[in-house]
Structure 1
Amino acid sequence: MLTNLSIKNYALIDSLSVNFKDKLSIITGETGAGKSILLGALGLVLGNRADSSTLKDTENKCIIEAQFSISNYLLESFFKENALDFESETIIRREILPSGKSRAFINDTPTTLQVLQALSEKLIDVHSQHQTLQLSNSTFQFEIIDAIANNFAKIESYKRGLVLFNQLKKELNQLKATQEKAKEQYEYNLHLFDELNKAVLKVDEQEEIEESLDKLNNIEEIKLNLSEAQSIGLNDEIGLQTLLISFTNNLNKISGFSKEYKELFDRAFSLKVEFDDIAAEVENLNETIDFDPSELVKLNDRLQLIYNLQKKHGVKSIAELLVIQEELSVKVDAVENSSGIIAKKENEVKSVAEKIDELAKTIFQQREKAIPVLVKKLEKSLSNLGMENTRFQFKLTHSNQYFVNGKDELQLLISANKGVNFGELKKIASGGEMSRIMLSVKAILSEYLKLPTIIFDEIDTGVSGDISQKMAEIMQQMSENMQVISITHLPQIAAKGKQHYKVYKQDIANNIVTKLIELTEDERINEIAEMLGGKNITTTAIEHAKELLS
C-alpha cells in the first residue's frame, strides 16, 4: 500500500508531501491543475526515464520519495535476490540531478531502473486510458483467465519445464551438428588411429631400440675388447685374476699380526671377489655375443616406423604419439557411438516434452472451465455499467506450438449490441466502453489475486449519471481488498472515497506552483458541489453534494 508520496523540485511542484490511506482515495482538481504532474512524479519513482527538463529549479536536484507498506506482499525473496534490505515500510527514492543523470534507491540502497521497475510492478498499477489497450493483448487476456483458473502455479512449472526442454533441444542440435562435422573427418581419423594402433607403441621403446642398434652396429669392436679384457683377466700366468690371488695370499699371511693388516686383507679379498664376478660376466658376454643381420634389419625398420609416425604427426616422442592416439580414439568413438548418445538425448527431450505437454493440457482444461465463469462475470458487471447487450466470446485453441504460458492460442471477440456480429475488441468497443470493460476486469481480478495498489487515472472518461454511480460502487467494492486511488472528474465517484485529495495551482509571488491537500469534510462538500454546478456554488449543489456523500 502506498502510504506517503513526497515530491521536491519537480515540474510545477516546489515541495509537497501527502499521506495516503487504505480503501478508496479520491483525487480531484481542475483541468491543468497538475494531476498529470503528480502521476509523472510517481512514474519516476516507479522507474520511468527522466531528464533535467523535469526540474522546476534547474540549479537543484529533484527528489521524489514513495513509501509503501509491504508486510503482506511476500516480497522477502525479491529483496534477498536483489541484495536489498527488506523493510515492512519500504521507501523508494529517485533523484534527478541538474546534469540530467538520475539515481534510484530502495531503502537507501542504490539500485538500477530495471530492479526498480520489477519491484514497482508488484507494488502499484497506474491505470490510464492508454492502458485499456492491454485488453486487446492476448497475454493480458490469458492472465485474466488464468487468475480465475488458478493456473499460475502450473504455468510456473510449465515455464521451468520449457526452459529445460529448450536447453535439451539446443544440446541435441549441437550433438547432431558435431556428429555431421565429425563424420567429415571420420575416415581420415580412423586411418590415423588404426595406423597408430597397429604400431603397438610403448613409451620407452624408442630408447631401447636405439641402444640395441648401437650395440649391433659396433659388434666387432665390442667383441674385440671383451676378448682382450677376458685374456687380461684370466691368463694363467700374468692374468689379473692370478695376480690378485697372489696379492691376497701375501696379505693373508700377515693378517694375524695386527688389526691393520687384517683390514687390508679383507679389502683385498673383497676386491678379488668383485673381480672374479666381473671376469665371469665378461667371459659370459664374450661367449654369448653374436651378430644377427636379421635383427639389425628388424630394429632399423621398427625405428624408421617410429620416426615416420613422429614426423607425420609433428612430434618428437612416443609419449606424444600415444596422446594423439588417445585423442583420435575419442574422435572415432564420438562418431561410432554418437547414434547412441543422440538417441539418449532425444529420449531426454521426449520425456520433458511429455511432461510439459501434460501440464499444458491441464492448463488448457482449466482455462476452458474458467472462460464461462469470466464471461458471466464480465457480462453481469458490464450490464450494471450500461452495456447490458454486450457479449463476449473467448476462442481457445490448443495447438502444437510451445508458448511462454502454455500451448494455447486465444482470440477475444465482442458484440456490443443485439444483432451485431462478433468482432475484435479494439474494432468494436469505444474508448468509454473499453474503460468500463477494464474496470470490470480489474474488479474481477481483485476477487482472485492479491493485486497491488491501483490508481485509476480518469477511467470514468466518457461516462456519467447512473453509470458513473455504478463505476464508483465497483471501485468502492474493490477497495475492500486493496488500496484504490481514483483521479476523477465525476462527483458520483468522488463522493465514494474514504478520503479526498485536491490538486490545485497557486500563485506565490508570481510563481505558479502545484499543491495537493487532503480535504476536510466541509471542503469536500464544497469541492463536490463545485464539480456538480461549477464555480458559482448554489445551495442546491451543496445539498446534492451532501446527499452524495451520505
Structure 2
Amino acid sequence: MLTELSIRDFAIIDEISVTFYEGLTVLTGETGAGKSIIIDAIQLLAGGRGSVDYVRHGTKKCEIEGLFILEDDNHDIYRIAEQFGVEIVDGQVVLERVITASGKSICRVNSKLVTLGILKEFGRTLIDIHSQHETQSLMDADHHIDFLDLYDPKLILKAKEEYLVLYNKLKALQKRYKQLNENEQENAQRLDLLQFQRNELEEANLSPNEDEQLELERQSLMNFERIYTSLNDTYNALYGESKGLEWVNKAHLALDESKRYDTFINEKAEEMAEHYFALEELTYDLRNHMDRLQYDPERLNEIEARLNEINRLKRKYGSTVNDLLTYQAKIEEEIEQITNKDTHLSSLQKQMEEVEKDVKLEADQLHDLRKKSAERLTKAVSKELKDLYLEKASFDIAFEKEEQNGKVQYNQNGYDHVSFLISTNPGEPLKELSKVASGGELSRIMLVLKKLFAKSQGVTSVIFDEVDTGVSGRVAQAIAEKIYQISVNSQVLCITHLPQVAAMADTHKFIQKQLKGKRTITSVKELTKEEQIVELSRMITGTKLTETAKEHAKELLDLAYSFKVKA
C-alpha cells in the first residue's frame, strides 16, 4: 500500500507530505482546493503523462515521491523488479518522478534511474486510479474482453500466453507467404537486388573476425618502432654481463650454497631457481620475437585498403564482418526461396494449415474458459448491482466470432468479440451498455467491476476520483458501502463530495488552499472525530453549519460504524 506521499512545487502545492494507512482514506474539501491535484501527482508517480504546466510557477522543477509497503512476497512487482534490475529490500518500493521547467522527466525506482516506460510497469502493479472519465472505457465494446479476462486472470492469461505463441507463429508464416506471393515484377526486382548484394559480398571473400584481426595487425605495424624499442630495452636490461638475469643467478647460487643447513633457505632456493629459469626462458622469447619483427610498409597499405573495403560493406550490410557473413547467408536463403518460389509457397501453405489447426484448438480452449468465467462474472455483477439499487437490471455477456467472408478471423485475443449487455428496466431487451446506461448507471457498473477485480488485479492501492458524481440518497449510501467493501482487500483513497462516502472513511483528510504571502498553497490535514463531524455537516448543508446538520453527520457516522462492524 501507499504509506507516504511527498509533493514539492507541483501546481498550487508548495510542499506537503501525507501519510496514508490501510483501509479507506477519504479526501474532501472545497472545489478547487487541490484534491484532484494530489491524484494527478499520484498518477504521474505511476507513469502518467507529464507536462511543464505541473511545475509550480517560479520554480525549477516539481518532485513527487511515494513509499509503498508490500505485504505479499509473491506480488508481481518482484518479477518486474528482477526483470529491470531493481532491488527490493524489506518489501519497500520508492517511486520518484521529477519534471523540470524545461520539460525533462526524471524517473527512479528505489533510487535507480529508469525510463518512463519502466516506471509505468511498476506503477500499474501498485496503483489503480479510477476517475469519472474512466467509465468511457465501459462504453467501448472493444475493451469488454479485457474486463472479462481480468476476472480470472491466472487461468485465462496462461491460456492466452499459450495461444499467442502459436498465433504469432501463424502471423509470421502468413507474412512470409504474402511476401513470396507478390507479383512477378516485384519478385524480379527483389531478386536482382539480392543477387547484386550477394556478388558484392562474395567478391570481398570475407573471413570470420577478419576485421578484428586486421585492426590488431594494423596497430602493430603503425607502432612498430615503439614495440621494437620496448622489446630491445627489456631484453638488454635482463641479458648480458651485470644485467638482471646474471644478478638473479648470483642470488640463486648464494642461496644454493647454504640450503642444506636451513629448511627455509632450501625452500626459497628452489623458488629462486624456478624464477631464474622462467626469467631466462622469458628473455629468449623476447629475443626470438624481436628477431621476427619486420616493418613492412607495403603490408600496412594492404591492410588499410582492405579495411576501407570492409568498412564500405559495413555501412551497407552490418556493423561487423560476422554480421556481413550472416547477412550473406540470409541473402542466399532468400534467393533460393524466390528462385524456387512455387516449392516454398506449397511448403508454407502446409505449415500454415498445420499451425492454424493448433491455433484453433488454443482459441477454442480460450473461448471455453471465457464462457465459464463470463457465467460467474454475470452472476456476481447481477448480485452487486442489486446492492446499488439496480435490482431490476439484467446483465449478460455476449460472445460473437470475428468472421470475414465466412472464415474465422484470429487476433491477439483469439476469435472472441465480447460485449457487455444490460437492461435497466423490466421488459426491455438486453442492449449494449452505451445504448441504454446513463452516466450514474455506468459509474455504478464500473464500481461493481472494480470491487470484483480489485483482489485479482493485485494492486496495492485503488484510487477513486469523484466516481460518485451525479448520485444521491440511497444510491449514494450504497456506493459508499461498496467503496468500503473494496477497501477490505485493497487500500482505497477516495475523493468525494458525498457525506455518505466520507462518513465511511477509516481516515478522513481535509484538503484546503490558503494564501501564504502572495501565493496560493494547498495543505492537507487529518481530521479528528469532532472535526470530521464539522466537515460532514459542511458537506450536507453547503456553507451554513447548523445543529441539525451536525446531528445528521453524527447519524451518518453511526450508520457507517454499524455497517463496518457487520461487513
Q: Structure 1-normalised TM-score?
A: 0.68
CA-CA distance at 1:180 after TM superposition: 8.9
SS of residue in 2 equivalent to 1:403:
coil
Aligned partner (choices 488, 501, 504) of residue 509 of structure 2: 501
Alignment-derived partner of residue 170 in structure 2: 165
Instruction: Tell me whether 1:527 sits opposite 2:539 in the alignment.
Output: no
Match of 1:94 in 2: 97
Pairs within 5 Å for 1:63-78: 63-70=63-70, 72=72, 73-78=75-80
Report the equivalent of 1:152. Answer: 157
The 2-side partners of 1:84 and 1:138 are apart by 37
Distance in structure 1 (CA, Å) of the matches to 2:334 and 2:409: 37
Q: In structure 2, what is the equivalent of residue 20 of structure 1?
A: 20
Residue from 516, 519, 525 that aligns with 2:524: 516
Q: Which of 449, 454, 459 is matched with 1:446 structurally?
A: 454
1:129-528 matches, within 5 Å, as: 129-149=132-152, 150-176=155-181, 339-399=342-402, 400-446=408-454, 448-528=456-536
C-alpha contact (below 8 Å) 1:384/1:467 kept by paired residues: no
Q: SS in structure 2 opposite 1:402?
A: coil
Label 1:411 to 1:331 Cα distance change in 2 as closer, same or farther (>3 A).
closer
Deviation readout 1:471-502 (Å, 9 max, x if unpaired): 11111111111111111111111111211111
Distance in 2 (CA, whole Å) between partners of 1:388 and 1:473 is: 16
For residue 437 of structure 2, what is the amino acid of its counterpart? A
Residue 59 of structure 1 deviates from its aligned partner by 3.4
> Residue 176 of structure 1: CA displacement?
4.3
C-alpha distance in structure 2 between counterparts of 1:341 and 1:65, whole Å: 58
The 1:448–1:64 alpha-carbon spacing in structure 2 relative to 1, beyond 3 Å, is: closer
Query: Closer, same or farther in 2 for the Cα pair 1:178/1:83, shift >3 Å?
Result: farther
In structure 2, distance between residues paired with 1:152 and 1:367: 11
Gaps of 5+ in 1: 187-328
CA shift in 2, pair 1:335/1:501, >3 Å: closer
Query: Residue type of the partner of 2:143?
Result: F
CA distance in 1, matches of 2:421, 2:334: 58
Question: How far apart, in 1, do the equivalents of 2:81 and 2:458 lie?
Answer: 19
Out of 154-163 and 429-438, give the one that drifted further: 154-163
CA contact (8 A) 1:145 1:367 kept: yes
2:409 counterpart SS class? strand
SS of residue in 2 equivalent to 1:47: coil
Matching residue's letter, 2:463: I
Aligned mates of 2:472, 2:334 — CA distance in 1: 78
Checking the alignment, whether the CA contact within 8 Å between 2:455 and 2:490 is kept in structure 1 is: no
Bigger shift: residues 176-185 or 88-97: 176-185
User: What is the CA–CA distance in structure 1 between the aligned matches of 2:96 and 2:459, rounded to whole Å?
Assistant: 23
- Offset at 1:515? 0.7
1:60 Cα shift? 2.9
Contact 2:63 2:99 in 1 (8 A): yes
- Distance of 1:185 and 1:477 partners within structure 2: 64
Q: Which amino acid aligns with 2:168?
A: V
Q: Quick one: structure 1 residues 76 and 523, their matched pair in 2 at CA, closer, same or farther if it must change by over 3 Å?
A: same
Query: Structure 1 residues 333, 481: CA separation in 2 closer, same or farther (over 3 Å shift)?
Result: closer
Aligned-pair RMSD on alpha carbons?
Answer: 2.8
Does structure 1 retain, via aligned residues, the 8 Å contact 2:509–2:525? yes
Q: Residue 523 and residue 184 in structure 1: after superposition, are their counterparts in 2 closer, same or farther (change >3 A)? A: closer
User: 1:413 and 1:331 mapped to 2: Cα distance?
Assistant: 51
CA distance 1:530–1:333, shift in 2 (3 Å) = closer
Change (3 A) 1:348 1:432: same
Stretch deviating more after TM superposition (430-439 or 63-72): 63-72
Gaps of at least 5 residues in structure 2 are 192-331, 403-407, 559-567
Contact 1:7 1:17 (8 Å CA) reproduced: yes
C-alpha separation in 2, matches of 1:332 and 1:483: 61
- Match status 1:6 vs 2:10: no
Rate the CA distance shift 1:360–1:180 in 2: closer, same or farther, 3 A. Answer: farther
Task: Provide closer, same or farther for how the CA distance between residues 510 and 177 of structure 1 changes in structure 2, counting only shifts above 3 A.
Answer: closer
The 1:184/1:466 distance shift into structure 2, 3 A limit, reads closer
Please report how far the alpha carbon of residue 177 of structure 1 lies from its aligned counterpart in structure 2 after TM superposition: 5.0
Q: In terms of Rg, which structure is larger? A: 1
Name the structure 1 match of 2:83. Answer: 81
Distance 1:7 1:393 in 2: 44
- Does the Cα contact within 8 Å between 1:60 and 1:98 map onto a contact in 2? yes
Residue by residue over 1:242-299, the C-alpha shift from the partner in whole angstroms, topping out at 9 and shown as x without a partner, is: xxxxxxxxxxxxxxxxxxxxxxxxxxxxxxxxxxxxxxxxxxxxxxxxxxxxxxxxxx
Letter in 2 for 1:84: V
Q: In the superposition, relative to structure 1, how do residues 179 and 172 fare at CA in structure 2: closer, same or farther (>3 Å)?
A: farther
- The question of whether the paired residues in 1 share the 8 Å contact of 2:62 and 2:100 is answered with yes
Give 2:54's aligned residue: 54
Q: What is the number of equivalent residue pairs in this alignment?
A: 408
Q: Which amino acid aligns with 2:544?
A: N
Q: Take 2:467 and 2:68, find their aligned partners in 1: how far apart are those partners?
A: 24
Aligned residue for 1:480, secondary structure, equals helix
In 1, Cα distance between equivalents of 2:360 and 2:185? 30
CA contact (8 A) 1:58 1:98 kept: no
Tell me the equivalent position of 2:35: 35
Equivalent in the alignment of 2:547: 539
Whole-Å separation in 2 of the counterparts to 1:427 and 1:397: 18
Q: Report the CA distance between 1:369 and its aligned residue.
A: 2.4
The 2-side partners of 1:545 and 1:13 are apart by 30
What is the distance in 1 between the residues matched to 2:374 and 2:484?
Answer: 26
Provide closer, same or farther for how the CA distance between residues 4 and 419 of structure 1 changes in structure 2, counting only shifts above 3 A.
Answer: same
- Superposition deviation, residue 463 in structure 1: 1.2
| Residues 94-119 of structure 1: CA deviation (Å, up to 9, x unaligned) | 11223232222222222222222232
| Paired residues of 2:61 and 2:101 also in contact (CA < 8 A) | yes
Is the deviation greater in 388-397 or in 124-133? 388-397
C-alpha distance in 1 between matches for 2:188 and 2:70 = 60
For the structure 1 residues 384 and 97, does the alpha-carbon distance in structure 2 shift closer, same or farther, using more than 3 Å as the test? same
